[in-house]
Amino acid sequence: MNYTHLTENERYMMSALRKQGISVVNIAKELGRHKSTIYREFKRNSRYNAYRPNPSYQPARAQQRARNRLSRSRRNKRYTKHDFKIIDALIMLDWSPDQIVGYCRLHGYPVMSHELIYQHIWTDKANGGMLWKHLRQSPKQRRKRYNAKDSRGRIAAKRHITERPKQAELRLEPGHWEIDTVIGRGTKHCIVTLVDRMTGYTYIGQLDDRTTVSLNARMTEIVTRSNLPFRTITADNGTEFNQYQEIENKHKCLFYFATPYHSWERGTNENTNGLIRQYLPKKTSMAHVTQRLCSQIAYKLNNRPRQRLGYKTPTEYIYEQLL
């Protein structure tokens, strides 16, 4: 048995007959429709008014809603099971719906709407799936520090961030990095992050402690193995950077230091640390974090499209700049 949707003329006839007090059963007979079809139509498209005891059926509104449902249905039919498998794979790489849409549009792949991807994720959750766990949580609001005093010591002969070359300040070329250490809970273990200001390309290193010796050793390993330029590095005033001149002399790059407790002066690094917290939440101990895990997290971040890069990935963007 084939089902046909109600037409616009049928909807206006239903409205006219209803106003004459004709019953649903008789309206169904008049139109040659099953009574359940008429009941469903009235229930779906009747509006209740506080000043009228009976709901009013609005045929024009009902027809427009039917067109909208049909349009959505046709749009969704453009996508195959294979398309949704690709979307699933990208979600499991921790890409946001916005990043998926932007990347697919940039590279000529079938483009779904953000709404459809979110709908797919929540449908998957309702069916017991885990795609929703790959969505990033909203960042927590930071508490403002009042009369904060820098008690971490002084760094000798340091250059202030305002002395950086304009290529670094304006993100005109790759090779100008921001560095920071991220501590965990209850142990001396931590990680160091290096982020290129122009492209967002990231290195993450595991540290057994927050000492200058550990930091410089890991930095030397990262810079030596990298084929990317290191022109400047901007740090905060942590004592782990006390021996920065050792890195400058060894790798021919210049260090610059932000104003104490002005984290917004290193916004690229702060934003990246927030992304890393998706994998290493704030209260997580770093004792069991390995260099392999750090490299895996960095790989995910470097191959995730960014809105500010026109939905290219940091890996794509930095190598385009260096060609």
Q: Are 33 and 68 part of one and the same domain? A: yes
**pLDDT computed for residue 215 by the predictor:** 95
Residues 92 and 122 in one domain: yes
How far, in Å, CA of 124 to CA of 29, rounded? 41
Under-70 pLDDT residues of the chain: 1-3, 48-55, 70-77, 137-156
Residue 3 in any domain: the answer is no
pLDDT of residue 148: 44
What are the distances in angstroms from CA 181 to CA 103, 273, 287?
Answer: 31, 9, 15
Could you list the residue range(s) of the whole structural domain that residue 93 is in? 81-133
- Phi-psi group of 315: left, alpha or beta (phi > 0 → left; psi -120 to 50 → alpha; rest → beta): alpha
Last residue of one domain, picked from the residues 76, 91, 124? 76
Q: Which CATH number fits the domain that encloses residue 173?
A: 3.30.420.10
SS3 content of the chain, % helix, strand, coil (to 5): 50, 10, 40
Q: What does the pLDDT read at residue 211? A: 93
Question: Domain for residue 311, yes or no?
Answer: yes
Q: What is the DSSP letter of 246?
A: H
**What is the number of residues in the chain?**
323
- Are 298 and 250 in a shared domain? yes
- 236 and 100 in a common domain: no
Give 38-91 pLDDT, tens digit per residue.
988 888 887 754 444 456 788 888 888 877 776 655 555 578 888 888 899 999
Q: Are residues 93 and 242 in the same domain?
A: no
Q: Is residue 149 part of a domain?
A: no
Is the domain of 169 the same as that of 281? yes
* Same structural domain, 286 and 211: yes
Q: What are phi and psi of 85, to 5 degrees?
A: -65, -40
Let me know whether 174 and 293 are in one domain.
yes
Give the separation between CA 8 and CA 30, rounded to whole angstroms.
Answer: 15
Position 156 in a domain: no
Give the tens place of pLDDT for each residue, 16-44. Answer: 898 888 999 999 998 999 988 898 888 88
Closest listed residue to residue 59, CA positions, set 70, 45, 44: 45
- Whether residue 240 contacts residue 211, with contact meaning beta carbons closer than 8 Å, is answered with yes
Cβ atoms 184, 284 nearer than 8 A: yes
Are 299 and 184 a contacting pair, CB within 8 Å? no
Long-range Cβ pairs for the range 203-211 (8 Å, 24+): 203/298, 204/276, 204/294, 204/295, 204/297, 204/298, 205/291, 205/294, 206/286, 206/289, 206/290, 206/291, 206/293, 206/294, 207/181, 210/181, 210/183, 210/238, 210/240, 211/240
